[in-house]
Structure 1
Amino acid sequence: MENIDTIFVDGSTYQQAEELAVYIAKVNGSADPQQDALVHEIKSHESGSTSDSLTLILVKHADALAKAPTKEYEAVFNQLFFIIRASSSDIISETVPSAINSILAGGAESVIPKLKVLTNLFNILDVRSPLRANVLVALVNLAASSGYLSAVQSQLDKVASWTDIWGLSPADKSNLYLCISKALQTESTAAQSLDYLIKALRASQDDASRSMGSLKAEAIRAVASTLTSPKLYHFEQLAALAPVRALAGEKIHMLLEVFLQGDLAQLQAFLQHNAGFVQEYKLDETALLSKMRHIVLTQLGARHVAQKLSYSDIATALSIPVEEVELWVIDVIRAGLIQAKIDQMSSTVHVNRTTYLTFGQQQWAEVRAKLSEWDESLSDVLQVIGNAKLIAQQQAHSAASVSVQSKTQ
């Protein structure tokens, strides 16, 4: 959607309004469109009236425009937009939502004309108008429900910057993100839907009028989707969100804590004792266990960077047969959590680098221990260098003494 605010129509606002009224009468099956009551109502405002009154009259009857044939659909709505845009800002704010509903009401055998018309409406509105958010939601919902999401995908990347330009309040920003998230709740766009859901929860924190408990369902969905996503392994930022913290005491929050601070055994125990909860929220138990094994292997690797891990140690940590170790290591490498080399001959894995999924006291202790090791190693190196310098100096001094003695003789 480009910032194009030009609609090409001929005639004054009144002339366009009268022409559109005749068209609406014709679409509604009037025997004599020129003498229709709607046309007479428009004509009664011919002199001394403002565009506001014309807009209010026509928008009330705009549902009829949805009956227009596909080839005329875009043109007649453009006429309506021309009239709306000539109105005062208050009337524009009042009538644009109604115009959106009329566009979505029906007509146009193909969804493409509707998408075009909504795009036109978006573009003719002032670039700073918060009404653009209403149009965007309608566009995304229509595109998602009709299988045309690709038509708006490129625009979704701009939403964050647009919300700042539109000056949306935290509440409106959160609601916009929630609407987009719901529209994107399909298998192919699940990750994008979750991204907007988390943005909505984050924006809601700045809304003083909203209780964080009011977003309980959304927070639960965010946690459940994150935990079962095959690509998301960092949970600290999610756990820090106020709507998620408000879930404290709920089983879904307990499960999140297991992933943040627990281990495989704790997860297995949780799943065993909360089978009903797992079924209620349709959590994929296999996906949860797989993710935890990835986390455990990553943490194990973090404690053995630049070292070798035996297959047996990995198998024990993951509670898997030794024969499956290589497959799990490959999975974690593909997930980008570790860099490592598998040595099949020695049945070991050499870990080169890992990603810290959480960074708490344990991780600080590990870093402190490594720094101490490096400090000791550097001290040893410096001592070796110092000894080498001393030996070199002594050898040089001895050589100089021998040279002086030779000259004296």
Structure 2
Amino acid sequence: MQGPAVFMDVSLEDQALELRKYFKSLGAEIAEEKSPKGIEDDLHKIVGVCDVCFKEPNEAEIEAILNSIVSIMVSIPLERGENLIVAFSQRLSKAPGPKLGMVVLQALWRLYNNLEANSPLRYHVYYHVIELAARVGYVREVFTSVEQLRKEFSGCPPTNEQMQKLYRLLHQVLKDQNSELASKVMIELLGTYTDENASYAREDAIKCISTALADPTTFLLDPLLSLKPVRFLEGELIHDLLTIFVSEKLSSYQTFYQNHKEFVHSQGLDHEQNVKKMRILSFMQMAEVNPELGYDEIISELQIEEKDVEAFIIEVLKTRLVRARMDQNERVVRVSSTMHRTFGRAQWQQLRDVLLAWRGNVQSAHEAMKSVAAAQIEYATQNQKA
């Protein structure tokens, strides 16, 4: 979203006077006369009734009025406009209806972009931008990634508590639109807690786990176990469930579900979706230790019928977590590579061995090239002597 503030060719005082008259004409409780206390008091009175313009049937007129208010706001000193900008953002964030909401969102976004990069007020405006964008279905045009969010506030980083509040809002509005991005936001939120306050993040940690488990595109869940707030959940059912998805097979999940059906549903999780994800995770685990899997083994371990094996393998391949080929005649699946569900000491050792072997091969190739080069030099020297 783009849109600089619209600056009028009239004085701030005259703009404020026209705004007073306009809001008075709409029935707002505001005097038409200028305030003897100055432009800040005029703007304070205008902000107090600015949402009256939502009655205006002409959207272009509303946009012009809001642009006029924004142009005055960004023209007064920061220390005198803080409360006004916060109050203005709060009122606009309540704009009713999608069409009107889009007009108001543009005005809020202009205000945000015309504040100095080092202004602490940018956080407050951005928070209300997200609130309004969520209601008009425009969040993904405002917020694209956690990395982009960091850049937005690089000039004046918000406090830890402010970022936690913003991450919670983003998770709330994204969880039904983009579960993968919602999971990333929640993981970022949990990363803001320290050893000292991690125990207070229990609710956030539970939401993080539930969101990740429910996301059909999230399969590598091992990193969650290292988050401090998640570690404080050890011994609770939600942590046990996460552990099953991280390292155990489908049969373990089925047993857990039979014993804790109400708990699983209370977390907003769908049992059939859980089974689908656990089948894929279990297949990955099987493929790690055996690159050639027979149909009978797949049917037994993953509790599926023979007629569904090939369709299941196709679903696995779509995730790009596994590379494999099916041999229908031999009734086997030959795996060429698979992602690891967990990355512990054994996986680091395996990676070390691969890198050492690669380094050895590079050194051997280098020595071979040196020998070839030396032989060519010697051959050329002998020809010159001859």
Output the TM-score relative to the length of structure 1: 0.77
> After superposition, what is the alpha-carbon deviation per residue over 1:148-173, rounded to whole angstroms, capped at 9, x for unaligned?
44653658873232133331222222
Q: Is contact 1:174-1:200 (8 Å) kept?
A: yes
Cα distance in structure 1, aligned partners of 2:194 and 2:173: 24
1:342 is displaced (CA, Å) by: 0.6
Cα distance in structure 2, aligned partners of 1:192 and 1:258: 23
SS at match of 2:32: helix
Percent identity over the alignment is: 25
1:6 is displaced (CA, Å) by: 4.4
> After superposition, what is the alpha-carbon deviation per residue over 1:102-154, rounded to whole angstroms, capped at 9, x for unaligned?
32444786333112211221222223323223333323332322334465365
Q: Is contact 1:178-1:200 (8 Å) kept?
A: yes
| 144-153 vs 240-249, which moves further | 144-153
**1:38 paired residue number:** 31
Q: Which amino acid aligns with 1:38?
A: A
SS at match of 1:39: coil
Q: Which amino acid aligns with 1:325?
A: V
Asked if 1:87 is matched to 2:85, the reply is no
Q: Is contact 2:180-2:218 (8 Å) kept?
A: no
**1:117 paired residue number:** 107
**1:177 paired residue number:** 167
Cα distance in structure 1, aligned partners of 2:12 and 2:214: 56
> After superposition, what is the alpha-carbon deviation per residue over 1:178-202, rounded to whole angstroms, capped at 9, x for unaligned?
212212232x433332322222222
1:28 is displaced (CA, Å) by: 1.7
Q: Is contact 2:35-2:41 (8 Å) kept?
A: no
> After superposition, what is the alpha-carbon deviation per residue over 1:60-98, rounded to whole angstroms, capped at 9, x for unaligned?
333334434423111112222222223232232211121
1:99 to 57, 68, 88: 88
Asked if 1:292 is matched to 2:278, the reply is yes
Q: Which amino acid aligns with 1:97?
A: V
- Cα RMSD after superposing both structures: 3.0
Q: Is contact 2:284-2:322 (8 Å) kept?
A: yes
**2:204 paired residue number:** 218
**2:41 paired residue number:** 53
Asked if 1:18 is matched to 2:7, the reply is no
Cα distance in structure 2, aligned partners of 1:150 and 1:287: 25
**1:403 paired residue number:** none
**2:378 paired residue number:** none
Asked if 1:201 is matched to 2:200, the reply is no
Q: Is contact 2:324-2:333 (8 Å) kept?
A: yes
Superposed, 1:193-272 pairs within 5 Å as: 193-202=182-191, 204-205=192-193, 211-272=197-258
Query: What runs of 5+ residues in structure 2 fail to find an aligned partner?
Result: 362-386
**1:391 paired residue number:** none
**1:316 paired residue number:** 300
Q: Is contact 2:295-2:333 (8 Å) kept?
A: yes
Q: Which amino acid aligns with 1:353?
A: S
**1:144 paired residue number:** 134
SS at match of 2:31: helix
Cα distance in structure 1, aligned partners of 2:274 and 2:106: 43
| 6-15 vs 343-352, which moves further | 6-15
Q: Which amino acid aligns with 2:162?
A: D
Larger radius of gyration: 1
User: CA 1:158–1:182 in structure 2 vs 1: closer, same or farther (change >3 Å)?
Assistant: same
> After superposition, what is the alpha-carbon deviation per residue over 1:308-347, rounded to whole angstroms, capped at 9, x for unaligned?
3222233333233444332322221111121111111111
User: CA 1:268–1:361 in structure 2 vs 1: closer, same or farther (change >3 Å)?
Assistant: farther
2:267 to 262, 281, 285: 281
Cα distance in structure 2, aligned partners of 1:138 and 1:343: 56
Cα distance in structure 2, aligned partners of 1:145 and 1:171: 24
Q: Is contact 1:56-1:95 (8 Å) kept?
A: yes
User: CA 1:141–1:278 in structure 2 vs 1: closer, same or farther (change >3 Å)?
Assistant: same
| 318-327 vs 239-248, which moves further | 318-327
Cα distance in structure 2, aligned partners of 1:316 and 1:155: 41
